[in-house]
Amino acid sequence: MGVQMTNCCGFSLKHGTIIIGVVQSIIAFMFLVLSAAYAENPHELVDMSDPSIVPDLTILKVILIIISVGSALQCLFSIFLIFGAETNRPGLLTPWLILNPIALGVYILATLTAIIHHTSLNMTPFIIGHMLLGIIIVLIVAYKIMCVWNFYKHLKSLNF
């Protein structure tokens, strides 16, 4: 079944989907540039933070490379989303609709892992902050996925 939506934040589903694609491609590109730059010089991140919580430099470099690849895919699929919405091609929306729920699941697992890892310490502000920020991010991403999914279903119903 699912939730039927006719607009996205006051815009039509088409324009809302395009706005989601533009904003997300800009954010993904920024993450790509920053993570790629820090992957080249991971010691700069260690210099800025508490060294006791930062993993080994090789592990940090691998994590930053994974983030760079994920950001590049997100940027590419967000551009597909923009062109798919503009040209009414639901096939171009599909990669975004596959990647984002997976990315949301990975984010939820990473947040839960961070919370569980810090429960043994007296880190109540950290845990509460992570939970609140995590809930806000999950709600925003779930809303974006619902908007794009409803536009995808609309295009499919028109036999595009």
Residue 50 is predicted with a pLDDT of: 59
Q: What mean pLDDT is predicted for residues 36-65?
A: 76
Cβ count within 10 A of residue 105: 10
- Residue (of 103, 137, 139, 146) closest to 16 by Cα position: 146
Residue 7 is predicted with a pLDDT of: 83
Q: What mean pLDDT is predicted for residues 105-133?
A: 84
Q: Where are the domains of the chain?
A: 9-157
**Cα 129 to Cα 17, 111, 125, distances in angstroms:** 30, 11, 6
pTM over 0.75: yes
Burial 17-55 (b: 16+ CB within 10 A, else e): bbbbbeebbeebbebbeebbebbeebeeebeeeeeeebe
